[in-house]
Chain A
Amino acid sequence: MLSYIVRRLLWLPFLLAIMIFITFWLGFYGPGSPEVVLLGQRYDPETAAVIKEQWGLNEPFALQYVKYVRNYVTLNFGESLTKYQGQPVARLLARRLPVTMELNAAAIALGVPLGIILGAIAATYHGRWQDRSIIFFTVLFRAVPSLVAGPVLLFVFAKQLKILPVGGWDGLFSASAILPVSILASGVVAGFARQTRANMLDVLSADYVRTARSKGLSEQMVMSRHVLQNALIPLVTILGLVLGSIVEGTLITETIFGIPGMGQLAFEAIGARDYPIIIAVTVLAAFIFALANLWADLFYGIIDPRIRQS
């Protein structure tokens, strides 16, 4: 178990180093040369040369890379080139990150338990109407992308029914959060319900469940003591995948609803070719994602005796 933890922990800085290298490499050879973006239409070689000198862009690859890594390690992500010209990216992120975190945390806090409950109900009533209707909704949730769900729900609830605000962000505990959180949560619900159902059906046909029944346990006892734990343990690993999919959802949802989070910042940066922001958002999101996966792996080790004791 100890070597498992150490291995997992060492993987994180290694991964971070690789991510920073890839992003730097793509940025170095990519179109994001600050002088080009900064000057835009006003590009002329002389001014460009001055800026390149100023920013140290004439230095060799290795030297620039060392500086870049040093900057990232000290949380210096550079300055915005176009959209928020001159503002440090770190400050922009610090302002936007909490909103995105709230949004995603709410979606997960709502979606995971709901998904598990629905999946468990579907498996318990396997093949009956409860199962069929839950499958129907999970398939639907999976098939409707947030770029469709957002505008359609706004049309229904804000324009036609006029019961929800038209967008914006008044904090997590306000009516403005209902639609975006629901959209993000629906993906989580679909993923977890589907997986819980599959795991439970798998476990229900396991020999040890038959053993439990042969002891005279009631169906509730069989479920709570033998089926649920075995079915839920593997769910820990899909939390990472689900997190990955809501990153994408956040980008689009924040854009559609006008929520001032990281997703909207990234969208603006893409439009304005503001590469320092794009790179910083990518690295930050990947870092959070890696952290979540690490946590999931460690948690998996704790709750599964087969890993815990190896």
Chain B
Amino acid sequence: MARLLEVNNLRTQFFTQDGVVNAVNGISYTLDEGETLGIVGESGCGKSVGVMSLIKLIPTPPGKIVEGSVIFNGENLIDMSDGEIRSVRGNKIGMIFQDPMTSLNPVLTIGRQIQEALELHMGMDKAQSKARAIELLELVGIPSAADRINDYPHQFSGGMRQRVMIAIGLSCNPQLLIADEPTTALDVTIQAQIVDLVKKLRDDLGMAIIWITHDLGVVAGLADRMLVMYAGMIVEEAPVKELYANPSHPYTVGLLGSLPRLDQVSGEKLDSIEGLPPDLIDLPKGCPFHARCKYRIEKCFTENPPLKTIGVGHKAACWIDVTKDPITTERPYQEV
């Protein structure tokens, strides 16, 4: 498969009254055509800002991409002018957002909101774009699409609105679809429908997907590869099965441990990660996770571990090997 996207050392900061927020701190990854990448992490770990930065959709000011490059189809998106990046947005790269209740304009018909991008990027006239919008609504599973095209967002349910959002994201046949927690605001049954829909569309249309979530369960059946982010950095990267089988960063171990499982012994408590993520204005020295880590050693307090390869397609940023039995007597828990 050909390389579609290459992100190198991307760094995004927000310049606020309280100080500089280090939202994304030098992340690098790649994505092939037709591949699905899942990005997981807690709220505020920089995963949304990270993907918004790809198409320069962060509010500027206060946000600023201070370093790095994003090579998409051989071109650096970061160096593009406003006009050039706009011809990529909604065209070659489509987006879906978290909250379908607020992400659609309440005073425009959904037809208009889909047609807008078609007329802009594909040079269609009103009739053509309308026909295509109906086609798209049918594609995302909205019944009697031809009638509903003149309806307003408030006439749709949350799940249906998210389908409309997907139709907008896919309208210009993008090579890459960025989905920013598209199921978080939906009911569990609707979540599964949306995931299945996206999966089916991917298999039919062949676009690559970056799917952001804080829920490891949602992406398990969808993603080919996973990135785990913490404090604006990538702490682990692995093919999806490998990640679930051999989590190699203490944070990933914690995330997986906090998932309830059907085969769990009854009465056993879920593992949770104690403490809070670090303050992004005032990042701690050393590994950003050390304050909450059960496995930490002295080195973690002073040096941030690099992301290093530990298996086929598997990288982790940790000084120790957590797959070997963790906390033992010969390596006691480090007091602060």
Contacts and interface: CB of A to CB of B under 8 A. Distances in A.
Contacts of B105: 208, 211-212, 226, 230
B121 A216 contact: yes
Contacts of B94: 214
Contact of B97 (A210, A229, A305, A306): A210
A292 interface: no
> Interface size class for chain A?
20 to 34
Given A210-B97, A214-B55, A216-B120, A305 B165 contact: no
B107 A233 contact: yes
A207 B99 contact: yes
Contacts of B103: 207-208, 210-211
A261 B131 CA distance: 59
A108 B37 CA distance: 56
Interface residues of B, number: 31
A215 B116 contact: yes
Nearest to A127: B61
Interface in A134-173: none
Contact of B57 (A208, A213, A226, A305): A213
Interface string B145-173: 00000001011000000000100100000
A215 B120 contact: yes
Interface in B200-221: none
B143 interface: no
Interface in A100-123: none
Contacts of A174: none
A137 to B, nearest CB: 25
B104 A215 contact: no
Interface string A220-238: 0100011001100100000
Nearest to A206: B102
A225 B108 CA distance: 9
A208 B106 contact: yes
B89 interface: yes
A215 B155 contact: no
B117 A215 contact: yes
Interface string B88-125: 11110011010100111111100001001100110000
A221 B87 CA distance: 14
Contacts of A9: none
Contacts of A73: none
A309 interface: yes
Contacts of B89: 213-216
B322 to A, nearest CB: 38
A207 B120 contact: no
A215 B168 contact: yes
A218 B89 CA distance: 11
A230 B104 CA distance: 12
Interface of A: 206-208, 210-218, 221, 225-226, 229-230, 233, 304-306, 309
23 contacts: A207-B97, A208-B102, A208-B103, A208-B104, A208-B105, A211-B168, A212-B105, A212-B116, A214-B57, A215-B89, A215-B90, A215-B168, A216-B86, A216-B90, A217-B90, A217-B116, A226-B105, A226-B108, A229-B108, A230-B107, A233-B107, A305-B106, A306-B154
